[in-house]
Amino acid sequence: MSKVIVIGSGLGGLSCGFILQKQGFEVTVLEQGAQIGGCLQCFSRGGVKFETGMHFIGSAAEGQTMHRMMRLLELTDTVRLNALDADGYDTISFAGELFRIPNGKEAFIEQLGGYFPKEKDNLRRYADIVQRIASASTLNSLTSDERDLAANTEYQTRSINEVLDELFHDELLKNVLAGNLPLYAAERDKTPFAHHAFIMDFYNQSAFRVVGGSDAIATSLAGSIRKMGGQVLVRKKVSRICLDDTKAIGVETDDQCFFPADHIISTIHPARLLEILDTKLIRPAFRRRLASIPNTIGCFSLYVKFKENTMPYLNTNYYGYRGTTPWDCEHYTEGDWPRGFLYMHHCHEDAPRFARGGVVLSYMNMSDVARWTGTTVGHRGADYEAFKRRHAERLIQEVEKHQPGFAAAIESYYTSTPLTYLDYTGTEGGSMYGVAKDIALGPAGRVPYRTRIPNLFLAGQNVNSHGMMGVLVGTIVTCQELIPTPLCSTFSS
Ligand SMILES: Cc1cc2nc3c(=O)[nH]c(=O)nc-3n(C[C@H](O)[C@H](O)[C@H](O)COP(=O)(O)OP(=O)(O)OC[C@H]3O[C@@H](n4cnc5c(N)ncnc54)[C@H](O)[C@@H]3O)c2cc1C
């Protein structure tokens, strides 16, 4: 049996591990942290569980793409989903004016057309383009393979704002359509329209929260890997990939263990991979290119525990902005932070009436917390705690303006910064979604699935795209490198 070592136990690592173990490989997943899951990790305080990364997923209704992927990964019986409000799974608020985004193409055109009647025909054109890009590309439709990228090439090279400017006249509508951009940390003139289209299509189909927390996905995948005879080990930080003259032969962990391997799949950030890969087989030009790909911005997270039976459960994701644009919130100053936020409740049971916990996310650059680099979680000092408290209070005030009663409903809160993400997942600069997409970089901005080391492959959010869909598409493409039969055929609906 061929041995596969998977580095990292986030969604990318566990889904690769599951597929390869199922296909007869002997899989060992190595995780540096004490808990599996990476961005699927949750933590509990005062009896309430908080999600640190993944909060909601799309296209997961019976027959839709994510549902088929989840079935392949044997997640449909173990992971319970709770549908967000179909008439408004997302709510965009510009200075208090609300726009609700519904599921379904026709409902989307009707509802947005109701807010912007003069733009109704353009909304249909927009919805057609979004659908065409999503269904024509890669494995998002699970019908074609990675090499069929032609249909969306044009929209990979044009920015979101450029295409919206071409399609619409109304500035406010353009901003509403870009209102969920914190989900992918989009930047003006940089992020490709195709990236926006995948995400809009994903959630337009359907939108769900995971009941009890997104760590259920990690628990299920790891449980299945172990049941099939594979291993998922925690507190095993890979410190070196060991090679002979032509290929990788295994990995070493920081507790001096050696794990032999026929194949290695790295799902960690490429910057972390380069640190543990000391070989002439990797050329300096490749190193320089990977190191120069920009990363998405980090975030400040405010985790709120609500007083019991006080805060009605919000069955929508709320994007609050101070002004009338979602763009450029990453260019905040010390004085005007936070320019925007994303506020969500956690779903602790089926159709809850009251929320027990929620999270507010707002962009934050690593440079804001760089002075505490090198400190460890829980031991960063009083000035770091004061920094976090100051930012938490400002964020609470900002949410309160949009959601009166929010502040009074808080029993306690906890916070994290980009440093926390760096420590818990190894993501460069504490970035939210790993490497950023930039139309100016084209192929030079892509992290490859393969390397010049013939048995070292890459997967995870940095290779294809982040998120439940982006990561799983990458998993399929990477695993396909080791499996002779087309994986796509196993998704028959
Ligand atoms: C705040 C936030 C909100 C999000 N919300 C959503 C959402 O609502 N919906 C959605 O679909 N997606 C969302 N995402 C994105 C999604 O969670 C991620 O794209 C996805 O979970 C990433 O999985 P991954 O396996 O690629 O990486 P990660 O989850 O980062 O996993 C990498 C793992 O590798 C481990 N590791 C690193 N270095 C080593 C080493 N040397 N040795 C061993 N292990 C190592 C890390 O500890 C980590 O566990 C969100 C992300 C964030 C940060």
Answer whether residue 18 is part of any domain: yes
Report the pLDDT value the prediction gives residue 135, as an integer from 0 to 100.
84
User: Looking at residues 283-287, what average pLDDT do you find?
Assistant: 94
Are both 360 and 289 inside the same structural domain?
A: no
Q: Percent of the chain, pLDDT > 70?
A: 96
- Give domain status of residue 194, yes or no: yes
Same domain for 177 and 218, yes or no, is no
Q: Which atom of ligand 1 is nearest to the CA of 58?
A: 11
pLDDT in tens, 187-204: 999 999 999 999 999 999
Whether 164 and 241 share a structural domain: no
DSSP helix/strand/coil, 413: strand
Question: 24-33, 215-224, 430-439, 484-493: lowest mean pLDDT where?
Answer: 484-493
Q: Judge contact between 359 and 318, C-beta under 8 A.
A: no
Q: Domain residues for 323?
A: 82-211+295-429
Is the same domain home to 101 and 33?
Answer: no
102 and 179 inside one domain: yes
Together in a domain, 224 and 162: no
- Spatial CA neighbour of 357 closest among 55, 24, 36: 55
Residue-wise pLDDT for 407-427, tens only, equals 999 999 999 999 999 999 999
* Phi then psi dihedrals of residue 217, to 5 deg: -65, -45
Does position 138 have pLDDT exceeding 70, yes or no? no
The pLDDT of 50-79, averaged and rounded, is 96
Residues 344-376: tens digit of each pLDDT: 999 999 999 999 999 999 999 999 999 999 999
pLDDT at 492 over 70: no
CA distance 166 to 159: 11
Encoding tokens for residue 174? 């353009």
144 pLDDT more than 70? no
Pocket around ligand 1 at a 6 A CB cut-off: 7-13, 30-33, 38-40, 53-57, 237-238, 267-268, 272, 299, 361, 425-427, 432-433, 460-461, 466-468, 471
Average pLDDT, the chain: 95
Residue 235 sits in a domain whose CATH number is 3.50.50.60
Paired sense of beta strands 3-7 and 26-30, if any = parallel
Residue 73 lies in a domain: no
CA distance 146 to 431: 26
CB contact at 8 A, 179 and 92: yes
Does position 123 have pLDDT exceeding 80, yes or no?
yes
Q: Which atom of ligand 1 is nearest to the CA of 466?
A: 19
Tell me which of 35-39, 131-135, 267-271, 398-402 is least confident: 131-135
Top mutation candidate among 6, 31, 54 for ligand 1, by most atoms within 8 Å of CB: 54
Cβ atoms within 10 Å, residue 309: 10
pLDDT in tens, 217-245: 999 999 999 999 999 999 999 999 999 99
Query: Does residue 308 share a domain with residue 171?
Result: yes
Residue 151, pLDDT above cutoff 70:
no
At residue 282, does pLDDT exceed 70?
yes
Q: Is residue 53 part of a domain?
A: no
Instruction: Clarify whether residues 131 and 221 are in a common domain.
Output: no
121 in a domain, yes or no? yes
- Average pLDDT on 423-446 reads 95
Query: What pLDDT, on a 0 to 100 scale, did the predictor assign at position 149?
Result: 59
Q: For residues 149-171, give the mean pLDDT.
A: 89
d(Cα 347, Cα 82) in Å, to the nearest integer?
A: 8
In whole angstroms, what is the distance from residue 119 CA to residue 333 CA? 35
DSSP string, 409-427: HEEEEEEE-HHHHHHHH--
Residue 343 and residue 198 share a domain: yes
Q: What pLDDT does 141 receive? A: 57
| pLDDT tens per residue across span 244-261 | 999 999 999 999 999 999
Confidence at 142, pLDDT banded by 50, 70, 90: low
In a domain, 380, yes or no: yes
Average pLDDT over residues 287-298: 96
Same domain, 396 and 266: no
This prediction's pTM: 0.96
**57 found inside a domain:** no
Span 39-55, mean pLDDT?
97
Distance 438 CA to ligand 1 centre (A): 20
Residue 148 banded pLDDT, cuts 50, 70, 90: very low
**The last residue of a domain, from among 401, 429, 457:** 429
CA 471–ligand 1 middle distance (angstroms): 9
Assigned domain for 186 exists: yes
Domain CATH code at residue 344? 3.90.660
Q: Do 205 and 86 lie in a common domain? A: yes
Count of structural domains, the chain: 2
Distance (Å) from CA 468 to ligand 1 centroid: 10
Same domain, 325 and 386: yes
Least confident of 1-15, 30-44, 130-144, 475-489: 130-144
Q: What is the pLDDT of residue 147?
A: 40
Per-residue pLDDT at 158: 96
